[in-house]
Amino acid sequence: MIELDNVAYSYSGAALFSGLSLQLAPGSFHFLTGPSGSGKTTFLKLCYGALRATEGRVSVFDTDVADMDRDAVAFARRRIGVVHQDCQFLDHLPLAENVALPLTVTGQASVDQVDNLRELLTWVGLTAKADALPPELSGGERQRAALARALILSPDVILADEPTGNVDWEMSQRLLRLLVELNKMGKTVMIATHDLMLIRAAKSLVPARILRIAGGTLQSAGADL
């Protein structure tokens, strides 16, 4: 699905990390950990083409990102759902329209997709909030809305950047169960998180690989939880 081969990334000539190699196989589940500032968000951006590696090769669905133009990257992104840490929405649009925005942008809005939207909102427990504006939502509701938006195009890969960083423990567990359920449906999942309790909670739910970025390198913290 996504492969990084000896990848490095630098800001203003200073290397954030180097020598990173990883394969995200179909149906795999990964946790990405590391201290603040170690490069977790940058790593995810490399995986979906928002950034280009300064060294090495990043391949997305068997295509080198370096050979992809903006249109090709945008097309590949339809197969990658990203849950951003900041959960930004258009505050003047109701929740349902915010979740459906990727359909509108890609010209895929249809009657069938409207039905899918209803099912998706039900799945994340937000049917009653479909007409609410983003400022009216709680932190947990915004995170579930962000997950729904990431899934609206039925992607093959889910990349979640600190999806539980601004919610309580009960909501963290609910979001984790949703992501595990997606993985059991065949989706490849990577969660960037500093929450070790969340990783431990996943032990009984899913076999996952734990990766850690530290000291500018990517380390395996264990094949299983």
Q: Quick one: pLDDT at residue 112?
A: 60
| Structural tokens at position 194 | 């500093």
Compute how many other C-beta atoms are within 10 angstroms of the C-beta atom of residue 11: 10
Q: Quick one: pLDDT at residue 168?
A: 84
Q: Quick one: pLDDT at residue 166?
A: 77
- Is residue 192 in a domain? yes
Measured CA distances, 125 to 105, 140, 201, 224 (Å): 24, 11, 21, 30
- Is residue 153 in a domain? yes
CA 128 to chain centre: 25
- Is residue 17 in a domain? no
- Is residue 173 in a domain? yes
Question: What would the mean pLDDT of 178-183 be, rounded to a whole number?
Answer: 92
- Is residue 185 in a domain? yes
Q: Is 221 exposed, middle or buried (0-12, 13-18, 19+ CB in 10 A)?
A: middle
Model confidence at 161, in pLDDT bands (50, 70, 90)?
very high
Q: Quick one: pLDDT at residue 35?
A: 87
- Is residue 138 in a domain? yes
pLDDT surpassing 60 at residue 2: yes
**Measured distance CA(39)–CA(34) in Å, rounded:** 8
Q: Quick one: pLDDT at residue 170?
A: 86
pLDDT surpassing 60 at residue 174: yes
Question: What would the mean pLDDT of 209-214 be, rounded to a whole number?
Answer: 92
- Least-confidence region, from 49-53, 54-58, 80-84, 108-112: 108-112
Q: Quick one: pLDDT at residue 224?
A: 46
Full-model pTM: 0.90
pLDDT surpassing 60 at residue 108: yes
Mean pLDDT (the chain, rounded): 89
| Structural tokens at position 60 | 């997305």
Q: Which domain holds residue 130?
A: 25-49+78-210
Model confidence at 165, in pLDDT bands (50, 70, 90)?
confident
The CB-based long-range contact list for 36-41 (8 Å cut-off, 24+ gap) reads: 36/194, 38/213, 38/214, 39/9, 39/213, 39/216, 40/161, 40/162, 40/192, 40/213, 41/85, 41/161, 41/192
Q: Going along 40-156, which residue ranges are E strands?
A: 55-60, 63-64, 80-83
Q: Is 183 exposed, middle or buried (0-12, 13-18, 19+ CB in 10 A)?
A: buried
Read off φ and ψ for residue 202, nearest 5 degrees: -80, -10
Instruction: Please give the helix or strand (H or E) that residue 32 lies within, else none.
Output: strand 29-33
Model confidence at 225, in pLDDT bands (50, 70, 90)?
very low
**What would the pLDDT profile of 22-38 be if each residue is shown by its tens digit?**
999 999 999 999 988 88
Report percent pLDDT > 70 for the chain.
95
Question: What would the mean pLDDT of 164-180 be, rounded to a whole number?
Answer: 86
Q: Quick one: pLDDT at residue 204?
A: 84
3-state secondary structure at position 193: coil
Sheet (strand 55-60) strand order: 14-24, 2-11, 55-60, 63-64
- Is residue 222 in a domain? no
The CATH number of the domain holding residue 177 is 3.40.50.300
pLDDT surpassing 60 at residue 20: yes
- Look at the chain and report how many structural domains it folds into: 1
- Is residue 18 in a domain? no
Instruction: Please give the helix or strand (H or E) that residue 131 lies within, else none.
Output: none
